[in-house]
Structure 1
Amino acid sequence: MSDFSKFSRRKFICVAVASGAGAVLLKGCVGNPPDTASKPAQEAAPVSLTPETTPETTRIKLGFIPIVEAAPLIIAKEKGFFAKYGMTEVEVSKQANWGAARDNVEIGSAAGGIDGGQWQMPMPYLISEGLITKNNVKIPMYVLAQLNTQGNGIAIANKHQGKGIGLDLKGAKDYIIGLKQAGTPFKAAQTFPRVNQDFWIRYWFAAAGIDPDKDVNILTVPAAQTVANMKTGTMDGFSTGDPWPYRIVTDNIGFMAALTSEIWPFHPEEYLAIRADWVDKNPKATKALLKGIIDAQQWCDKTENKQEMAKILSAAGYFNVPVAVLQEPLTVGYKMGDGKADIKDVAKQGVLYWKDPRGSVSYPYKSHDLWFLTESVRWGFLPKDTLTNAKALIDRVNREDLWKEAAKEAGIAEADIPSSTSRGVEKFFDGKEFDPENPQAYLDSLEIKKA
């Protein structure tokens, strides 16, 4: 096993503080109380449970962050999909930020925290290895399902209009590096360091020859503070999930440089992960949760449900935003701004939850976990020898076997249950390729990296 202990939580937090983000990262670490929307009509009818499918417990507390990745958890709760399979006491609890979610899963629901929930990757791995926990205590986690693909973007403040800031940043490279040389570096924000939304903006910069660790400043800001921070000019760009990038455009304080669906089509986004001790104690309840999530993901992908979905998510207890801010990107597409053509193909470039042209969205491919670990090595977030032992680590954390069992019990067609734990070669907008059979070749092909 890799010497993960070298990369302690103390070092991790120091990195965040050095970026000027420590106070924001740790704000609200006690979380906040659950606040849910009123029950909509037409909930799912319960199934008949057998001794083999009756959950060991009906109760679990799952955390979420108010971005579209959380939709399967919220919809499964609100539409009765959890209750359908016997999980009648699921609490879906809004977290103040990713630091709060991390702290709350450390203590568990018995002590007022959470048992699991929505996570950016590779947070379940970092928590399992004690890299971002108090005193480096290892809290084993299991990755159980992917919640969605896409639904993220990179928004830019209006003061940078007309500078050529788009998907391909090469034309704006001199402008962005020039800001650093002038003493006013471009401030790019993400919601938590060393995970998804940090990776998206880093990849985007690096593809144009801009070093995210040298040529710009990377900050950590909770998603809900996106609009306020861009209005006050404290950040120039932001990488996060809907509805926040889209709201920046509708509030006329910024434009969209790129969608993550353009950077990496049908990329893995966020995941359901739960403490391993809870899953080991409650395997049938875990599969009941997964069945509820699977039902919710199928419901979310149906066009006729998008309007109701937007209404549910927009409620004060969940996202607390106008319905239109969610409904338009779910049903119509994205206004890009800065002279860019709007993106209207939501079937290919919008958020998806159950299926996409590459196959299953919900199934947690181990090859995707490997990309996140490889990208962590790229930026020096994990030691170089991580890849040597990556398979053993992924096999320990990724429980795709439970997803498959749950899918079969739920009657999912065999064709919709992946037969391989690898989705194969992944292709990015700049021509780079990641072959999970040879992650080192991917690293070797990258011009800007720490590894």
Structure 2
Amino acid sequence: MRRLAMGFIPLTDAAVLIAAAERGFSMAEGIEIDLHREVSWANIRDKVNVGLLDGAHMLGPLAIASSLGLGHVRVPLVVPFALNLNGSAITIAKDIYEEMGETGTDLSTALGAAGALGRVVAARRAAGHDPLTFAAVYSFSTHTYLIRHFLKAGGIDPDKDVRLVVIPPPFTAESLRNGLIHGFCVGSPWNSVAVEADVGRIAALGAEIFGWVPEKVLGVHARFVNTEPDLLRRLVRALHAAARWCEDPANHEDLARLLAEPRHLGLPADILRRTLDGRLHTAPGGALRAHPDYLVLNRDNANRPNLDHALWMYSQIVKAGQGEWTADAAREAISVYRPDLFDAAVGPPVPAPRPEPDCVATQFGDVFDPERFLATGE
């Protein structure tokens, strides 16, 4: 039996890793997983880098940025498994959301909410108020790119009209309560935590902004891939079996209770169950905002690392001004994602029952052309 130390941040999309460790899937592959609950994505990155963790629940853009040496020393990371797609939302402080409602704009769509926020920001600027502050969970994260797209859709310049800061997921709702920020983009269940505390309102689901957002992955150091290929294959098989179990709605009640345990997320099981089912309250006891693809843990080949997803994330890094486009960097970003390692463990992908949505802004009109971006950076 091999023991592996695996880090995670308390988020619903850590479900596959937690289930693999706690529901016998890793043991079936001769692996005992020691779960380490971490506070921030920087901690995750650094502990994988120095070998304190064998691997971790990790942001896809973090793995790419670290491998490119952006924002930190270069850390060669590899992604052999995608833990989920989608799963995020944008939450606005209760008082700001009420101001948005006073604009007369329909807040039931992401685009409508973005437009309403734009009107509020413009009115506050005209009145001489300080800029609003919004948070994402890490600079290199899909949450950063989601909130930037949301703001731009409302006519807000994310680099001039507001302040963007980084706050780790477990501290987002409390930061909203304390008035340190006016909104945030984070993975579940922290949007729902803010709603239940009556300090925030969910304005948009990530799946309403982009159709198929690459989110968390299994991130391992390149040395793991090179020195332990058989162990990695067994780990990927265990995660894939756990992902199938997590995706099945028949297991969601058990999974919600598992995630609710204090050593995991330590949050109410009913909140977690709603996030697993993609049915979130936008206000305490209020209307449900539902989306069939709110959180995808296994279906439609979600676990196979997709090279277009890696390239899309690099394109977002470039568009956010976090790095300059080069053809070499684009190819290196793609190389972080390793579908070959996934296929070696679980076999070639089965054709999905429906076409996979593109990484596009479904309501906001941005279309991503992987071949064009790879060739020209545009």
User: Normalising by structure 1, what TM-score?
Assistant: 0.76
**1:67 corresponding residue in structure 2:** 11
Q: Does 1:436 align with 2:370?
A: yes
- Cα deviation per residue 1:231-251 (whole Å; 9 max; x = unaligned)? 111111011011100111112
Structure-2 residue corresponding to 1:277: 223
Counterpart residue type for residue 266 of structure 2: N
AA of the residue aligned to 1:207? A
Going by fraction, where is strand more abundant, 1 or 2?
2
Distance 1:83 1:76 in 2: 8
* Larger relative contact order, structure 1 or 2 (CA cutoff 8 Å, min sep 6): 2
Alignment-derived partner of residue 32 in structure 1: none
**CA RMSD across the alignment:** 2.6
**SS of equivalent residue, structure 2 residue 98:** coil
Identify the range of structure 1 (335-344 vs 209-218) with the bigger mean alpha-carbon deviation: 335-344
Give the structure 2 partner of residue 396 of structure 1.
Answer: 335
Contact kept in structure 1, 2:12 and 2:276, CA below 8 Å: no
Deviation per residue, 1:240-289 (Å, 9 max, x gap): 01110011111211110100011112321111110110121111110111
Query: 2:212, 2:357 within 8 Å by CA — same for their partners in 1?
Result: no
User: Do the aligned partners of residues 212 and 316 (structure 1) sit closer, same or farther apart at CA in structure 2, a change above 3 Å counting?
Assistant: same
Verify: 1:382 aligned to 2:323, yes or no. Answer: yes
**1:301-380 correspondence runs (5 A):** 301-331=247-277, 333-337=279-283, 341-345=287-291, 348-355=292-299, 359-380=300-321
Residue in 1 that maps onto 2:24: 80
> Would the alpha carbon gap of residues 206 and 86 (structure 1) be closer, same or farther in structure 2, given more than 3 Å must change?
same
Greater gyration radius: 1
Q: 1:170 aligns with which of 88, 92, 115?
A: 115
Paired residue secondary structure (1:329): helix
- The answer to whether the 8 A contact 2:89-2:206 is kept is yes
Shift of 1:417: 11
> What's the CA shift string for 1:306-329, capped at 9, x where partnerless?
011011011111111111121123
Q: Please show how residues 201-216 of structure 1 align to structure 2 within 5 Å.
A: 201-216=147-162
> Structure 2: 5+ residue runs without aligned partners?
102-106
2:85 maps to 1:139:
no
**Separation of aligned partners in 2, 1:199 and 1:77:** 31
Instruction: Determine the C-alpha separation between the residues in 1 that align with 2:286 and 2:330.
Output: 42
Task: Write the distance in 2 (CA, Å) between the matches of 1:326 and 1:105.
Answer: 28
- 1:383 shift after superposition: 1.0
Asked if structure 2 preserves the Cα contact closer than 8 Å seen for 1:424 and 1:436, the reply is no
Residue equivalent to 1:293? 239
SS of equivalent to 2:262: coil
Match of 2:189 in 1: 243
How far apart are 1:150 and its partner, in Å? 1.8
Relative to structure 1, the CA distance from residue 398 to residue 328 in structure 2 (aligned partners, 3 Å threshold; closer, same or farther) is closer
Aligned residue in 2 for 1:36: none
- Shift of residue 214, structure 1, vs aligned partner: 0.5
- Who is 1:17 aligned against? none
**Alignment partners' CA distance in 2, 1:431 and 1:163:** 26
Change in Cα spacing, 1:171 to 1:413, as seen in structure 2 (3 Å) is: closer
SS at structure 2 position matched to 1:374: helix
d(CA) in 2 for partners of 1:79, 1:225:
28
Per-residue CA distance 1:363-385 (angstroms, 9 max, x = gap): 11000100110111111101132
Among all aligned residue pairs of Structure 1 and Structure 2, give the percentage whose two residues are the same amino acid. Answer: 27
Count of residues in correspondence between the two structures: 368
User: Counterpart of 1:171 in structure 2: which amino acid?
Assistant: A
